[in-house]
Amino acid sequence: MEFFKPGVRYNFLGAAKPLIMMSIVLVLGSWALVFTKGLNFGIDFAGGTEVLLAFESPQDVGQLRDRTAEVFGEEPEVVTYGLTDEGRYFVRSRVQGLLSQAEVDALRAAIVAELGEPELWDASDEAGEEVRVKFGETTAETRDKLAAALKAANQPEAVVSAQTQAQNPVYILRIPGVREQINQAMSAQYGEAYKGIDRLESVGSAVGKQMRNQGALAVLYALLAILLYISFRFDLRYSPGAVLALVHDVSITLGIFAITGMEFNLPIIAALLAIVGYSLNDTIVVYDRIRESIDMGLGKDLVENINISISDCLSRTVLTSVTTFLAVLSIYLFGGGIIQNFAFAMLIGVVVGTYSSMYVASPAVVGMDRYLSQRRADAAAAAKLTAES
């Protein structure tokens, strides 16, 4: 299928300079937004809790959001799980533990009032479900006094246990966690209509930071591998342009996520890698045609060969980009909240990936060719001067 008349040549690189300047501004602006405004990291990277609730029948999402907000202390994200509302809802909150700092302080004050200042106080559990405490001296009444302190701190359902059976043990105060409190709240609100928690996942801030770093490294390693692949597949003139195009695409996608405040999580890392693959495929098709045009001598210089090559690929590029865009747009519109951000990233990637293969990767080939030609000329001039001397 041909959208454009075969044999017609368009001067694509004639508009390269202003478009390159626009791309530079967009990339720099994107990174400025990332470093100043920042990305809205999701639970995968910032830490938090995800819960899949199951009911006998569909429930009102607004009412469910209000009820779970009472448990988490902030309004969570609540979306229907699945293509149709079958009574299963995905609840996501940035809250990692339900024991607030004020409640921790109140608990410590109650324990100090009952038993004095503890020798060890460890409330660092990210889930907020466990506090470790140890005293210089303990008696047979220590456990009972700890239980009394928990009741005084409004934690009557907490459980006291000793880590060891030593004479002076470390006591572990187990506070009812997310699962218990959600089950209690849902049972009280919905009664027998509430079936239970099908899945509960909690990510601590340290684990989230590690996942964030690993995601960034995955994108970096992909770019380095592509640089090596293009260098092997073509030559040094081509590889920097391909990598610049990919950096351009990833940067603009990050910038749009920063300016819109949309959630940035692990699926978006997968989207970035998919964008890298899509853009690279488009760039390689153009590069192959450029190499063929040069070998066949279709143009009088490199710029004309590039214009001929992009013109010849134009129908294929438009057909591929439009069909991919429409498929991803369908996912964005009908896929639901969980996959919507992934589809949004892919929509950006399809547009900027198509653009960069023509106006970032291709002009970079011209720049590298001129640079390498100048280096050869300088080397030849230096060799001539050496020979004459």
Q: Which residue among 174, 192, 226 closes a domain? A: 174
pLDDT in tens, 107-149: 788 877 877 788 787 776 655 567 788 887 777 778 777 878 7
Domain that holds residue 142: 101-174
CATH code, domain carrying 68 = 3.30.70
Whole-structure pTM value: 0.74
User: 302 and 218, same structural domain?
Assistant: yes
Q: Give the model's confidence band at 6: pLDDT under 50 very low, under 70 low, under 90 confident, else very high.
A: low
In a domain, 278, yes or no: yes
- Tell me: do 156 and 57 sit in the same domain: no
Number of independent structural domains in the chain:
3
Structural domain contains residue 389? no
Whether 296 is covered by a domain: the verdict is yes
pLDDT, tens digit, for every residue of 148-186? 877 777 777 777 777 766 677 888 777 766 777 788 888
Return d(Cα 264, Cα 76) in angstroms, integer.
16
272 close to 348: Cβ distance less than 8 angstroms: no
Residues 6+ apart with CB under 8 A from 11: 307
Determine, yes or no, domain membership for 336.
yes
CATH number of the domain to which 361 belongs:
1.20.1640.10
Percent of the chain with pLDDT over 90: 17
The CA–CA distances, whole Å, from 201 to 22, 97, 151, 214 equal 43, 12, 29, 20
With respect to residue 388, please indicate whether it lies within any of the assigned structural domains. Answer: no
User: 156 with 184: CB under 8 angstroms?
Assistant: no
Residue that terminates a domain, selected from 174, 190, 225: 174
Same domain, 220 and 86: no
Q: How far apart are alpha carbons 72 and 68 in whole angstroms? A: 6
Q: Would 6 be classed as within a structural domain?
A: no
Is there a single domain that holds both residue 116 and residue 238?
no
**3: in domain:** no
**Same domain as 253, residue 362:** yes
Same domain, 255 and 344: yes
Residue 152: predicted pLDDT: 78
We report the CATH number of the domain holding residue 117 as 3.30.980
Is 69 contained in some domain? yes
For the ranges 79-93, 176-190, 269-283, the lowest mean pLDDT is seen at 79-93
Q: How would residue 46 be classed by pLDDT, with cut points 50, 70 and 90?
A: confident
> Using an 8 Å Cβ cutoff, are 1 and 319 in contact?
yes
Domain shared by 86 and 150, yes or no: no
Average pLDDT over residues 361-388: 83
